[in-house]
Amino acid sequence: MGDEGMWPGRACLEQCSDENKSTTADGVALSNATFQHVNVLVTSGSLIPSLVKCLLFQLDDLIPEGNVYSSWEVGKLQCFSLIKERFGGPNVQFCVIGDGWEECAAAQTMKWPFVQVDPRPNSPHRFPGLNFRTLGHYISVVYGNTDEESDSGTKEQLPPAAIYEQ
């Protein structure tokens, strides 16, 4: 079974990660790019088995181990708050991708866009239809148009920032 079959969200993460290839182990950009993407995983499972799952699904190149959070004891809202504290800034935009009510409610409380996915076959909310462009539409609904005019009159994309996977 290929990577897509093992974890269908991988293609979307790869597409987002292709936008900023030069990052440090904790996801911080090394280049002077206009924007960067940071992939973060928030799981309701305990941390160690979740890290092992990331290795088994070969996601360690897309989600650094320092960007894996467990909401086991504190809940999704607390994890999202910690993530906002860590990665937040004036031009940072967050987007939650998940399949549960808890991350949906937490995203709503944080005023972050929520993209519902469903791992079941034949579901209308499957990962294969999810891509960077689709995420951009969700983000623009909450944050407004992400293309802003710079002082030089050219369009400059604001950072789409962190994407949080469930």
Binding site per annotation, positions for Mg(2+)? 99
Radius of gyration of the chain (CA): 16
Q: CA dist 145 to 14, 27, 43, 55, Å? A: 23, 25, 30, 36
DSSP annotation string for 84-142: HHHH--TT--EEEEESSHHHHHHHHHHT--EEE---STT-TT-GGG--HHHHHHHHHHH
How many other C-beta atoms can be found within 10 angstroms of the C-beta atom of residue 23? 18
Residues that constitute the known binding site: 99
Task: Please tell me the distance from the alpha carbon of residue 85 to that of residue 59, in angstroms, as a whole number.
Answer: 24
Closest CA to 126 of 17, 12, 2, 1: 12
